[in-house]
Amino acid sequence: MRTGVLAKRCSCGSFWRNGAHSCRRCGSTRFASWGFYVDTHPKGATERRKTVRSGFPTKDAAERELLRLLTVVQTGTYASPSKLTLEGYLRPWLAGKTHLRQSTHETYGILIECYICNPDYGIGTAPLWSLTRPGIKHFYTELERRGRIRREGPMHPKAVHNVHLVLRKALEDAVEDGLIPANPARRAHKLAVRRPEMKTWTEEQVATFLASVREHRLHGLWRTAATTGMRRGEVLALTWPGFDPITRRLHVTQALVTGPRGGPPRFGPPKTDRGRRAVPLDPETVRVLQEHHRRQLEERKAAGETYQDQGLIFCRPDSGSAAPDPPPRPQAHVRHLEPEGRHPDGGREPDPVPGPGHTGAGRGPPGRRGRPRHLHGGFPSARREGREARMDA
C-alpha cells in the first residue's frame, strides 16, 4: 500500500533525510517548507510516476494534502498536474465554444477577462491542479467586495453567480478533458432564491388597454405579445413568411438580440432550442395582423425607394428595418385610462408586457408554459381558439 514520504525541503530543492538536522546537498541548517513525494502511477503501469509537492508551512498541512492525494490515487481518478494555468485554459476553452450565441460568447469573454483573470484579485494565474473549493470561495468573496466597476459598493450576488456559472462550466470541461480529477467550483457559490411577486394587469385591464390603442400602428405588436406570450425579441423578429392566416399560426425562427456595446441590434436564433415553434393565434389577432399588413404596405408605398423590405411584421415605418430600440412600453399610453395612470384601487398600473424572458416559451407557472403570466392563458377567445388549433394539429 502506498504511503508516501513526508520531509522537510530545503531552499535548494532537496528533501532532508528523516532525522537529519541539515541539508545533505548544501549543508543549510534551515529548511524552507514541508513537502512530500509519492508514487502516483496506476496499478500495473510499466512506467513509474512520482509526484512531488512542497511549500506547506507545517507538517500537518503537508500530511493532509498527502492523504487527500493518496485517496484520489486509490480511487483511480488521479490526473497528473500540469503547468497549465486557469487563464491559459479559459481562453482556448472559450474560443472552442462556437455553438454559443454571439452575445453569450461576448458576455463569457467579459466575465473571464474582467473578473476571473483580473490582475488584482483574480485567479487566472493559478495552475489548474492547484485550484481548491476554499480558494475559489475566497475569490468570490473578493469579487463581491471589489468587483463592481461602474459604481462604488459591493457587487450584486447575482453578478457574482454569473461569474461562478462560467467558471464552473469551464472546470467541468477540464475534468472531462482529464486535466483535473474533480471540479473545485462545484457548489462553491449558491444564490439565494428570491422571486418577488410580479404585479400584472387583469384580463379586463389588458382588454381596456388594447381597445384604447386600437388605432396605434403598434396595436398588432402589443396584441400579439399579450395573446401569445412570446418574448419581445421574438415578436420584433417575426416575418410575414412565418405568418399563416389559414392555419392561424406564427412561426418563430429568430429573435432580435442586442448587439455589441454601442452597436445596433441584430438577428439571431431564439434563446432556447424550444424557442423554434409554431404559435397558435386567435381569430381576432389574425384579423389585427392582416390589417397591420395593409397599413405596412401603405407605409412602404409612401417611403418609396428608400424602403428596404426585410419581411418583418413589426418594423420602422420609414425604412422597413428593425427598430433600433425596444418598442414603447404601454405605460406611455395608459395615463388617459385613469387619473395619473393609476389603478382604481390606488396602486400604479403594472406593465402588461414584461421584459425579455418573462413571458417566453418554457417560462411561467407549471401547466401554463408559453402563456403570458399576466393573462394566465390569454383572452377567452385566445384560449378557446388555441385549444381548437392544438386539437386540429
- The pLDDT value recorded for residue 380 is 37
pLDDT digits (tens, 9 = 90+) for 254-297: 998 876 666 778 888 888 888 899 999 999 999 999 999 999 99
Any idea which of 19-33, 89-103, 139-153, 318-332 has the lowest mean pLDDT?
318-332
Output the CA–CA distances (angstroms, integers) from residue 164 to 61, 139, 189, 193, 230, in the order listed. 28, 10, 7, 16, 29
pLDDT at position 101 is: 81
pLDDT higher than 60, residue 360? no
Mean of all residue pLDDT scores within the chain: 79
Residue pair 276/253 in contact by the 8 Å Cβ criterion? yes
Dist CA 345 CA 45 (whole Å): 78
* The CATH number of the domain covering residues in 203-392: 1.10.443
Predicted pLDDT of residue 358: 40
Mean pLDDT of the region 174-201: 82
Flag whether pLDDT at 331 surpasses 80: no
Cell 405605460 identifies what position? Answer: 331
User: In this structure, how many other beta carbons lie within 10 angstroms of the beta carbon of residue 296?
Assistant: 21
| Helix, strand or coil, per DSSP, at residue 278 | strand
CA 35 vs CA 3, 16, 48, 50, 206: distances in Å: 14, 10, 20, 13, 71
- The one-letter amino acid at 148: R
- Between 30-39, 137-146, 231-240, 248-257, the lowest mean confidence (pLDDT) is in 30-39
pLDDT, mean of residues 31-52: 82
How far is 296 from 307, CA to CA, in rounded Å?
A: 11
pTM of the model: 0.58
